[in-house]
A and B are shown apart, each in its own frame.
Chain A
Amino acid sequence: MPKDETSTSNYTGPIPDPDILTAKEFWEGTQNQNLVLPKCKSCKEFFFYPRIICPKKGCHKTDIIWEVASGKGYLYTFAIQHVAIDGWKEKLPFVTAFIDTDEKVRMLSVLKNVDASQPQSIIIGSRVEVKFEYVNDDISIPYWEIINDK
C-alpha cells in the first residue's frame, strides 16, 4: 500500500530501533500496513511478542514462521492515560489498550478515535481493526480502532 503523498510523519512518540534478529518481519510488515505475526511451525499457534522459541506449554519448538494476520481482534481491556512519557504528553488524555487478535495473541497498543473523556462509551469486547501510523520508511506504528463488524 502506498504511503501518503508526502511521506511525512506527525508521529511524536518514541521510535523503536527495530530488532532485526527476531522481529524483522514484524517491522517490515508495518511498512506495507500489514500486521505480520510469528507462528510456531510445529504447533501452528501464533504468539506475540516475537522470539526464537514457541512459548506454548508442551511445545517450546524453535521452528518459527511468519504470516500476515487478519488485522482484526477484540478489545480485551483499556485504560485512559492522564500521565505519559515524553512524546505522548501533548496527546493526553489518550487511550491505551490490550487487543486480543483473531490469531489469539494479545498486544498492547493505542486505541484511537474514541472519546477519552467518556470511558463508559468505550466497550470492552468491541471488534477492533489495526491501523498504522507512518514514522519513517523503515517502520510504521500499529494502533487500533473500533469497527462495526460482528
Chain B
Amino acid sequence: MTNNKLRRAAAIVGVGESDKFGFDTNKTSLMLHTEAIISATNDAGLDIDEIDGLFITGGAGRFPAIAMAEYLGIRPKYVDNTYVGGAGFIVFVNHAVAAINAGIIDTAVISHGEVGHSIRQRGNKGTGGGFNYDPWDPSMQFEQIYGLWGAPAYYAHAMNRYMYEFNVSKEDFAQIAVVAREWATLNPKAVMHSKETHPFGGPIDIKTVLDSRPIAWPLNLLDCCLVTDHGGAVVITSKDRANDFKNIPVWIDGSAEAISHINMSQMQDMTETSAKESSKRAYAMAGLGPADMEMAMLYDSFTYTAGVTAEMVGLAPRGQGTDLWKNGAASPGGKFPINTNGGGLSYSHSGMYGILLLIEAQRQLAQKAIGLPGRQTNAKSAIINGTGGPLASTGTIIVSVDK
C-alpha cells in the first residue's frame, strides 16, 4: 500500500520542551504542555492563535485535546487524542499529515506533558485517584491477578523469548544502555548527563548495567527507561507554508502506524513488533529504504525495545539488532547514530516518550543539537519509530532535509 501523494505534504517547522524537565519539576502536566507549546511555537514563529489542529495525549485528564485547547484559550478546528501509548506522538504525525493533505488544517501542534516522576511522589491525593477500570475487562480478569507491575513485568517475557530464539545475551542488550549514556554525556540537558545532573549520572559500562538491581529478569534497572516529568511539542505545517517559518523544514517523507494487540497473550511472536508493518508502509510512502537512512531515533523504553526495533525497521538482520550498538555504529562518531539525545534510557522519559524522538530528530537534521562536541551529527535523513503499550503499537516516520 503506497500513498506517494502524501510524501512531503507536510514538514516539522518547530519543536520545544518544557522550561524544566527531569525529576521534581514542581509543575503540573498542563504547565508542562503549555511551556512546551509556547517554546515550540516560538521556535517556529507561529502565533498560538494560528494552531488549527491540536493533537494531544497523556497528562491532560480524560478529555486531553479539549482540556488543552481550553487551557490555552484556543478553539482549533481539528482535535485528536488517540491513545496508543508512547507511540502516540508518532501516530499523530501520521494523522496530521492526512488532515493537512486533505486541506482540513494548515498547522498542527502535537503536544505532551506528563508528571511521571512527580505523581509518584505526590500520590493520587484528593479527587485525583481512581482509575475506574472495568473488572470484567479481559486484562483485569486474566492478567492483573498475577501480580505484574507495570511495563517491565511484561517486556521481560518478550526479551527472554528473544534471547532464547536468537542466542543473544543480557550483556548484548546492556550495550544499548551504555551507548545511550555515551550520548547523554554529550548532552548537558540529559537527566543522566553527569554527576552534576544526577548522583548516578555520567558514563557507565556493561557491568554497571548487569549489577543494577533486577526489576523483572532479564531486565535490570538500567535496562529500563527513566521515569521523569517532561513536556514536549512539535509544530507541523503544510508544504505550502513550510518555508514561512524560522526553521528549515524537516520534511515528512513517510509516515505510518500499526497495532498488534493490547493483552500480551495475544502477541503471536514476542520477538516481532508491528514496526515491521509500520516501517514498511512508511518507507513505501517515502520511496526510500533503510539504506537511505543516516540516523535513527528508536523508542528505548527498554534496551530490548530498541534492539528488536532496529531489526523490525530493517536496520539490522533478524537476531543481530544489538550489533549496531556493540560494533560502535550507534555511538557518538559512529557511522549510524542512534538515539542521539541519550534516549529514554538516559535523556528523559516521562511515561510516554514519543514526542522526544521527534524533537531530537528535528534538532539533528536542522543542525540545532546543542551540546558537547560530537553531539551534532551530519545526518540529513532519519527514521523515527515509536513503540507503545506492551509492544502493542508502533508509528514510523521518515524525515529528511534538503541537502
Contacts and interface: CB of A to CB of B under 8 A. Distances in A.
B318 interface: no
Nearest to B140: A16
Interface in A101-130: 106-110, 119, 124
Contact of B149 (A22, A76, A78, A84): A84
Interface stretch (B30-38, B52-60, B116-124, B212-220): B212-220
Interface string A66-87: 0000000000111111111101
Q: Is the interface of B mostly helix, strand, loop or mixed?
A: helix
Interface string B135-176: 110101111111111101100111011001000000000000
Interface in B212-263: 213-219, 263
A8 to B, nearest CB: 19
B265 interface: yes
Contacts of B161: 76-77, 124
The size class of the interface chain B forms with chain A is 20 to 34
Q: Is the interface of A mostly helix, strand, loop or mixed?
A: loop
Contacts of B150: 83
Nearest to A87: B147
A87 B148 CA distance: 11
Contacts, number: 117
Contacts of A13: 145-147
Nearest to B268: A106
16 contacts: A15-B145, A16-B141, A18-B141, A76-B270, A77-B164, A79-B156, A79-B216, A80-B214, A82-B214, A83-B216, A84-B149, A96-B148, A98-B270, A108-B142, A108-B264, A119-B217
Interface of A: 13-19, 21-23, 48-51, 55, 76-85, 87-88, 91, 93-94, 96-98, 106-110, 119, 124, 141
Given A81-B147, A87-B147, 14 more contacts: A16-B140, A49-B141, A79-B153, A79-B160, A80-B214, A81-B216, A83-B153, A84-B148, A96-B148, A96-B157, A106-B265, A108-B148, A108-B265, A110-B146
